[in-house]
Amino acid sequence: AYNKKKKETWGVCIFIVAIDLDEVTFTFTELLKSINISVCTFFQFLKEVDVNMDTVSTKVDSTVSKLKKKYDVLLALYHRFERTCGLIYLEQPSSEISAELSSVLVLKNYWITFLLAKGKVLQMEDDLVISFHLLLCVLDYFIKLSPPAMLKEPYKSAVTAATVNGSARAPRRGQNRNTRTSKHIDTDTKVIEILCKEHDCNLDEVKNVYFTSFIPFLNSIGVASNGLPEVDVLSKQYDELYLKNKDIDARLFLDHDETLQPDVIACSQLERTPQKNNPDEEVNLILPQTPVRAAMNTIQQLMMILNSATDKPSDTLMAYFNNCTVNPKDSILKRVESLGHTFKKKFAEAVGQGCAEIGSQRYKLGVRLYYRVMESMLKSEEERLSVHNFSKLLNDNIFHTSLLACALEVVMATYGRTASQSDGTSAETDLSFPWILNVFDLKAFDFYKVIESFIKAEPSLTRDMIKHLERCEHRIMESLAWQSDSPLFDLIKQSKEREGQTDQPEPASTLNLPLQHNHTAADLYLSPVRSPKKKAPGHPQSATSNPDAQPSATSQTQKPQKSTSLSLFYKKVYRLAYLRLHTLFFRLLSEHPDLEPLIWTLFQHTLQNEYELMRDRHLDQVTL
CATH number at residue 364: 1.10.472.10
Q: List strand residue ranges (DSSP E) for 280-372, in order.
A: none
Q: What mean pLDDT do residues 417-434 have? A: 60
Answer yes or no: do 471 and 566 share one domain. Answer: no
Domain residue limits at 163: 2-260
Q: Could you tell me the pLDDT band of residue 419, with boundaries at 50, 70 and 90?
A: low
3-state secondary structure 398-448: HHHHHHHHHHHHHHHHHHCCCCCCCCCCCCCCCCCCCHHHHHHCCCHHHHH
Q: Does one domain contain both 454 and 520?
A: no
Cα gap 589→624, rounded to integer Å: 13
> pLDDT, tens digit, for every residue of 73-84?
999 999 999 999
At 307 the pLDDT is: 83
Using CA atoms, how far residue 233 sits from 113, 229, 254, 519, in Å, is 10, 8, 17, 63
Q: Are 361 and 340 in contact (CB under 8 A)?
A: no
Identity of residue 15? F
Residues 310 and 252 in one domain: no
- pLDDT of 183 above 80: no
* Least confident window among 167-176, 480-489, 601-610: 167-176
Residue 564 pLDDT greater than 80, yes or no: no
Domain boundary among 421, 448, 478: 478
State pLDDT tens for residues 4-48: 888 888 999 999 999 999 999 999 999 999 999 999 999 998 888
- For the segment 326-343, the average pLDDT, to the nearest whole number, is 96
Q: What is the mean pLDDT of residues 447-467?
A: 92
**What is the mean pLDDT of the segment spanning 363-368?**
96
Q: What local confidence, expressed as pLDDT, does residue 323 receive? A: 93
Residue 417, domain member (yes or no): yes
Residue 329: per-residue pLDDT: 96
In-domain check, residue 282: no
CATH code at 583? 1.10.472
The pLDDT of residue 550 is above 60: no
Which has more confidence, 181 or 525?
A: 525
Least confident of 127-136, 170-179, 296-305: 170-179
Q: What percent of the chain has pLDDT over 90?
A: 41
Note whether residue 447 is domain-resident: yes
What total number of domains does the chain contain?
Answer: 3
Over residues 451-460, mean pLDDT: 92
The whole-angstrom separation of Cα 434 and Cα 443 is 10
CA dihedral sign, ordered 280, 286, 292, 293: negative
Q: Is 337 exposed, middle or buried (0-12, 13-18, 19+ CB in 10 A)?
A: exposed
Does residue 76 contact residue 128 with C-beta atoms inside 8 Å? yes
Is the same domain home to 464 and 535? no
Same domain, 423 and 448: yes
Residue 51: count of CB within 10 angstroms of its CB:
9
Separation of first and last alpha carbons in the chain: 42
The pLDDT value recorded for residue 308 is 83
d(CA 442, CA 398): 8
* Residue 297: per-residue pLDDT: 86
